[in-house]
Structure 1
Amino acid sequence: MTDISMNKSAPVAKGRQIPDRLTSGWKRGLKSWEALLLVVAVAIFIFNSFASPYFLDPWSLSDASFNFTEKAMIAFAMALLIIAGDIDLSVASIMALVSTVMGVAMGLGASTPVLVFLGLGTGLLCGAFNGVLVAGMGLPSIVVTIGTMSLFRGISYIVLGDGAFTGYPADFAFFGQGYVWWVITFELVLFALFAVLFGLLLHGTSFGRMVYAIGNNATAARFSGIRVNRVRFILFLLTGVMSAIAAICLTSRLGSTRPSIAQGFELEVVTMVVLGGVSILGGSGSIPGVVLAALIMGLLTFGLGLLNVPGIVMSIIIGALLIGVIALPRLWKMVRR
């Protein structure tokens, strides 16, 4: 009884308050990398609207979506792969090989559904090949995918040489040139759909939590019961399939297949992912960040195009952007120290 009375009479600590979860969430959101990306995207949009009188035209904005949708679809899968601690530098070469296979099939008289099926199957096989070498044999992903980057595109050059496949079926053009409603393209709808699906997969499922766990500590994840190699293999499959979907859209939009198709896409895809806040070392990142990064790069390249900036200058800007985003966190830590 004495203890109880003493506890009742004990003074309550002053100044202690229950934290407002909603307010804390807003504060965290305002300080997040995604909030900064949103500000940058709005700033680029405003700058482009003043820089060119054609930018705010609805059809011009619709055309701007082609600058990022195909690359962003690959970036969603690449984001999961990098979060898990791996990388795939062969995505652009997978696109070239997928387009080449579809071109060969088209020359043999294949219909549009057959072309799509063969394209998806080729991307799946390429992703499985990378997955077996990395997850199955334990080889470093960066070394393997540099090798397959040359292998897949080399096959395209052997098949095509300096030539090109043209004359795709008329209904095949819908994937890259079709409009769902007014200025809303089919590619933009696909981009939004995959953004939602990959967002749910990464942030709302146990599979997504396993991806984060593997990226933070693969050994600990393995001891906790996660089948690390199987998850990594699935991620390479996803990357291959998304590369195939992007290849179908790009081939449809261009209406032709060349061995140099999608050259340099891997740089822009990785830049999107890293700019979106995904750590190149793995273990952290988000799909909303990748979406905002894709919008930023699309608006940036489209605005520079309206200003007649040469393509080589755009490549320099993208390369500098990638280096800057990777170096910025380390520079910030050095400044704070």
Structure 2
Amino acid sequence: MGPEVDTPGTPAAPAAGGERTAAARTAAPARPSRVSALLRTREASIIGALVASVLAASLLVDGFASGRNAGFLVLDIAAIALIALPMTLVIITGEIDLSVASTLGLTSAVMGQLWVMGLPLETIVPLCVLLGAVLGALNGILVTVVGLPSLAVTIGTLAMYRGLAYVVLGDRAVADFPFSWTGGATSRLPGTDIPWIALLIAVLAVVFGLVLHATPVGRSLYAIGANDEATRFSGISVRWTKLWLFVVSGTVAAGAGIFWTLQYGSARADNAFGLELSVVAAVLLGGVSIFGGRGALPGVLAGVLLLGTIRNALRLADVSSDVLNIVTGLLLVISVVLPNTLARLSERRARPAPPS
């Protein structure tokens, strides 16, 4: 029996081991498709926009590319980055916490009042962290136990916590904190222009990232955001999970309040007024869905840096603070409208064409 000859248009039968070779040929394109899919993600788009913004600002804005300015940029976004970490988890579950800036302000006011009363900062700091946990727990109880919507609850506590800050400290500013604390808050890592707070943010980002993307807890957060009723029937305690997220959010906001007070060397009731807008804008800009169930922490960090880069470049270009607020609000609107518009366009393209 002679050797088999392939004829045009007729597939040749695979020889011994041909199944494995054919499978290898079939599986070979998998790697490029994964890469292309990764490049099409929202996170990749934000990282690309961040790189483009940094390059444009470096070329067009005097002083932006200096190491000194990089240090100022990190200090400027530090509080936003800290609060954005737990905010990401909260929004992924389909909730929101708009009281974070007021929690920061109340923490700063209490910190100043306790200092005026003569308590040492070694005692004041843990008390303020505990205060943040209590404020977050109040939000969580109203949402999970009472059953109120988090948007309404945290709008209410936003006003209440800020009002309490004025009750505690009034219009005064406490600014006689020891330099060992205020100077330490803005000190740089040895041999660099990068403040030490960047290292803390990086460590916390790794912790939150591992919890969200590499543990059953993180998978449950996505499940809650997608369908909390189904998640509840699967045995996950939706109520306790959300409650603890609000506690963590309040605790981190209080920590940001302590850093804010020491960074600027002043405890005031109006500290970080309106900061919640920047935090939510950064989180949504980073690809987290306002409806819950979708998002990733790397995209959020890129969103924080993108927002900080734009605001820093505009400040160096002598743009007014009113314009900065307009830009922040515009980015917030875009981060909500654009994903929904793209999703609707994708759905329309996926629909089968009507019969002719």
For the pair 1:252 / 2:262, whether they are aligned, the reply is yes
Give secondary structure in 1 for the equivalent of 2:272: coil
Amino acid at match of 1:259: A
Query: 2:35 corresponds to which residue?
Result: 26
SS of the equivalent of 1:179 reads coil
Q: Which moved more, 1:128-137 or 1:80-89?
A: 128-137
Deviates more, 1:175-184 or 1:77-86: 175-184
Distance 1:115 1:186, change over 3 A: farther
Count of residue pairs brought into register by the alignment: 329
What is the Cα deviation at residue 335 of structure 1? 4.1
- Equivalent residue for 1:119? 128
Question: Deviation string for 1:269-320 (max 9, x for gaps)?
Answer: 0001100100000001000000100110111110000000000101001101
AA aligned to 2:258 is: I
Q: State how far apart, in whole Å, the 2-side matches of 1:56 and 1:323 are.
A: 29
Output the CA distance in 2 between the equivalents of 1:301 and 1:76.
20
Q: Could you tell me whether the CA contact under 8 Å between 1:210 and 1:226 is conserved in 2?
A: yes
Which stretches in structure 1 are left out of the alignment for 5+ residues?
1-10
Amino acid across the alignment from 1:294: V
1:241 aligns with 2:251: yes
Q: Which residue number in structure 1 is paired with residue 217 of structure 2? A: 207
What residue is the counterpart of 2:52 in the other structure? 43
Superposed CA deviations along residues 69-110 of structure 1, whole A, max 9, x for unmatched, are 211110110010000011000000000111111111111222
Q: Which amino acid aligns with 2:267?
A: T
Match of 1:167?
A: 176
Residue 55 (structure 1) aligned with residue 40 (structure 2) = no
CA shift for structure 1 position 334: 4.3
Tell me which amino acid in the other structure corresponds to 2:177.
Y
Deviates more, 1:186-195 or 1:140-149: 186-195
Tell me the percent identity: 38
Partner of 1:145: 154
Distance 1:333 1:284, change over 3 A: closer
SS of structure 1 residue aligned to 2:189: strand
Structure 2 residue corresponding to 1:288, chosen from 298, 307, 313: 298
Q: Which runs of 5+ in 2 are unaligned?
A: 1-17, 349-356
Matched residues in 2 for 1:195 and 1:286: separation?
A: 11
Residue 180 of structure 1 aligns to a residue whose secondary structure is coil
Moved more, 93-102 or 156-165: 156-165
**1:4 is matched with which residue?**
none
Q: Which residue of 2 aligns with 1:155?
A: 164
State whether residues 103 and 253 of structure 2, in contact with CA within 8 Å, keep that contact through their aligned partners in structure 1.
yes
Please say if residues 113 and 169 of structure 2, whose CA atoms lie closer than 8 Å, have aligned partners that are also in contact: no
- What is the aligned partner in structure 2 of residue 101 from structure 1? 110
Partner of 2:10: none
Counterpart residue number, 2:330: 320
Aligned AA for 1:287? L
Provide TM-score, normalisation by structure 2. Answer: 0.88
Match of 2:354 in 1: none
1:196 CA drift (Å): 0.8
* Counterpart Cα distance in 2 of 1:112 and 1:163: 19
Shift of 1:260: 1.0
Is 2:193 the partner of 1:179? no
Please say which structure displays the higher CA radius of gyration: 2
How far apart, CA to CA, are the structure 1 residues paired with 2:133 and 2:212?
20
TM-score calculated relative to the size of structure 1:
0.93
Using the TM superposition, give the Cα deviation of residue 20 of structure 1 relative to its aligned residue in structure 2, in angstroms. 4.8
- Mean Cα displacement is larger for which, 166-175 or 191-200? 166-175
Q: Counterpart of 2:11?
A: none
CA RMSD of aligned residues (A): 2.0
